Amino acid sequence: MEDSAQHLGYCMVDMKPRSNHPEGLTATNVYPALQVPQVEFILACNDLVTSEDERGPDAFVQVSVIDPRTQQLISHVCTETVKTNKDPVFLTGVTFPSDRSAVLEALVKLTVYDAKDKTQESGTILGTATFSVGDLLKAKDEKLTLSLRSPNGVCTSATVVVNRLTMGEMEEFDHISAEVPSQKCPLVCDPMSSPCINRDINLLTGPVFKNPVCKVYRFQTVDSKWMLVREQMDECTLSFNVPKQLLSLYIQEDMSRVQDLKELGELSPHWENLRTEVMTRYAGIISSYQETLSELDKITGNCFKPSCCKAQKSLEFVPINLHTQRMRVTCPRKAEAIYDIVTVGAPAAHYQGFKGGGLRRLLGRYETEKRSFSTAYQCIYYSPEHTAKAQEVLSSMSYLLPIITVSADQLLQAAQEHSSSGLKDALKNLSDNTEQFVHTLKDELVKSALLALHAARPGYISKKQNPDKLQESEQGLGQVHRLPGHTESPVLCNNVEATHNMHDGSTALKPDSIPHQKEYDEEEWDRVWASVAKCLNSVIAMVDKLKEEVDKPELAPEEQLTGVSSHNPGDWREQLCPLVTRLKECVCEVSERAKKAMTFVLLQDAACSIPQGVLLKQRRDVVFSQALTALACGFVMKLYAGMQDSGFLRQLHLVGVVAQFESLLSTYSEEIGMLEDMEVGISDLQRVTFKVTEAKTDDLSDLEPVICGRRDHFIVEVPLPKLAFLTLPEELKDGRPLRVLPVLFNVGINEQQTIAERFGDISLQERINQKNFEMLELYYKSLSEKVPTECLPCFQTQTDAKELLESLGQNVVAKKRKNVEILWIAGALCRRLNGIRFTSCKSAKDRTSMSVTLEQCSLLRDEHQLNKDFYIRALDCMRSQPPRGDSGQWEDPEAAEATENKPASRHFYPIALLLVSSHLLVVWLILSLVFLLAKYQ
């Protein structure tokens, strides 16, 4: 399977009946429902003959369109091949959009080929026929029978029948048997000009999707009816948009970190050298990210990264083969159903490679080596939890400080206006935010970091500490490596003496030349920190006093006149202003001290991280960028699909939504590193929240998601058109943060996984599945408590979510090779929980397509009564590709270089049987070898 056309129409989620809304809205859509194209027709041929074989040709039809304006022949698609049949019937749905007036005048050229002739790349031409769409619509019974003309222009006895496609009984096609080879029904659609879907219809999946590729299939149900399966695959503009936004935020955050380091003030020579080195490292990262961002800005037109570019440095932040796919199933006398899925290559740092493993292994090794680095660089070792806490404190302060300032100004404005209600609201906001600010700084890490920073100032001398006090200090710092020279007698804790030994006497600073600082008062921070609470209490007391004056009994008219003369409107503000100003000054002072302390913690962490930590940081940024891009894409698609589903919207703001990533990576060779990268990247998505906002305009550029925040927490704002935004619940319109629970389940299915299970180690896969099952179990418990079951989608199969969860738990702990039941159950559970589905392998091509097409046919069988005789035919139909030489919408940048060395990919569908049994691997290898030998002999 090839990039951008590899697995069209995989299905998932969101099965809701259509409503009778006059504007065509469905129960899950706020946008116009898909307009069924006005012109859909199928093809059949009669009396095809060849001189070589009396049994009949292996026929297929090439469908082309002659543009009425330019007279240019545009090749779209070709049908499946029907073998050895003189009267083949193609289950091909050729579709023309109803919104193009030029369609009726367009000429359609049908070219019938015999695929048996191996000397011709596309086969031998048996004949051609031409008609216009207008002629078809005017014809009796909307049916045309056209004579085929030979390549010399002579009419032959063979004919091609063009019949407009309608839903009906099987009577007309009783001669189609289950033994007929697979029937593929692609839709005529140019992906570049996107004629089959206009701007409004593209809002089916959201405004960030473009270049749709459409297909239509027709399969028989158990009651001898025909179901229509229409599929649409889109590229996503977020493939490049999100990485560029993240790169800008990374650059902004690192530049801010450099500025914070500069503002730390004067440090001892040892710490000054470390600061300079760390700033140099940051400058290198900033320069690299700026170069990558510049390269991405030069790319125009493309909306996805093909797998051939996965190791390209300038594209390392861009996910591989990111596509969204929607399948719409229409059955007679049944509700229409929609299934969505996102396919993407595994988020991994392909450019950096996997020789040393992936992020999970590298981070574990790094934390172990970091302790020795802290000794070598004479730093305090901070655990990852302490480092994360320092980043959280910095992020909280940068968020709360401006809010507190605004709330204080609003309080003064309310006092100026003598508004009691305004005072009450402003005071509540100020009190809540200030208390949150104080709580953030009420951490032992801040206090201990202030002590460490004070000890890093020039000339600091620590007096003798008793063992109990020293032990208490070390517990506050976590695991502390004492600085060299730390003895019972007074020494220079900033390692001035050690620095003196490293330089000659002419340049080194002597201890006598450095002014000694006073001893650090550990209670000073407590006093400064407590002053914020005291100032807030003073403000609250004054506001209460002012409100009491308002609540006093009304005065006599003469007393009111006296009161007015003695109390002008500025009195309240004048009484509050000094207290509020003092509060703001205390908050700023505390914020400044805490910011320097936390910056010093991060300085020590960065100093201990040299040099491996810098590479790990870049690797984690790359993997997270790919993962977040896929998540944002899936969230936008799911949000637009569930806009009028009140149950889904309620679930969204109460407990969030599940994002289930299905991975097919093996636990062998370099794919172990990819899986380790993917595990960390998916886990990091827990630091992301979403927010729905109202778009400034309905222009597509204003409807693209906007990302803000820092590495420890990002917020993705999804703008909606005004009319759509007004239909949302108040909780969403108020900007409530929406959480997404990312879970990852992995089961390797290829031959490398067979080797890993028999001779290697699969503990990584087992640990990932067990951990994510426990997360999913907690989510389901929360969902059951807060969201009624009627809010969840209904399916034909009776297995409920609780039973699926129990079955999933049993399969996760079962010792079974290639236990794909884990993936199937996890996917079914995700659909029942209204979740977002993702499927990944190394490049989102072969294994991904095999998995999702199998899932798709299973859904057609279980939910739409697909005839069992058509199950394998449906699989073959969805997995086959046009014969070699076919061009048009299936053309792929990688296909040209691989064509000569690779057989047609339709012969590779038996790989999917590995999903059922690994023991068929040997049989598949033998058959493939026999086929290759026969082909090239």
Annotated catalytic sites, by residue? 841
Angstrom distance (rounded) from CA 381 to CA 367 = 10
Contact 207, 703 (CB under 8 A): yes
Q: How many CB atoms are located within 10 Å of the residue 705 CB?
A: 22
Specify the DSSP class assigned to residue 32: P
Query: What is the C-alpha end-to-end distance of the chain, expressed in Å?
Result: 25
What does DSSP assign to residue 195? Answer: T
Dihedral sign, CA of 381, 386, 391, 397? negative
Distance CA 237, CA 675 (A): 26
Structural contact between residues 856 and 10, judged by C-beta atoms closer than 8 angstroms: yes
Beta strand 657-663 with 706-710 is unpaired
Alpha carbon distance 111, 60 (integer Å): 8
Q: Which two tokens stand for residue 260?
A: 């914070």
264 touches 603 (CB < 8 A) = yes
Q: Which residues, including other chains, have CB under 8 Å from residue 74's CB and lie 6 or more apart?
A: 64, 65, 66, 67, 190, 888
Please check whether residue 404 is in contact with residue 434, taking contact to mean a CB–CB distance below 8 angstroms.
yes
In this structure, are residues 118 and 124 in contact, taking their beta carbons and an 8 Å threshold?
no
Among 905, 811, 893, 892, residue whose Cα is nearest residue 850: 905
Let me know: does 854 contact 876? Beta carbons within 8 Å.
no
CA pair distance 364, 479, nearest whole angstrom? 17
Return the DSSP state at 668: S
Measured CA to CA, the distance from residue 727 to residue 730 in angstroms comes to 9
Residue 688: its H or E element: strand 688-694
Instruction: Name, in order, each residue with C-beta under 8 angstroms of 841's C-beta and a sequence gap of 6 or more.
Output: 345, 346, 663, 664, 665, 847, 848, 851
What is residue 72's three-state secondary structure?
coil
Contacts for 651 with CB less than 8 Å, ≥ 6 apart? 657, 783, 787, 791, 792, 834
HSE, side-chain direction, 13 A CA sphere, residue 854: 20
Q: Computed from CA positions of residues 854, 859, 860, 866, in that sequence, does the dihedral angle turn out positive or negative?
A: positive
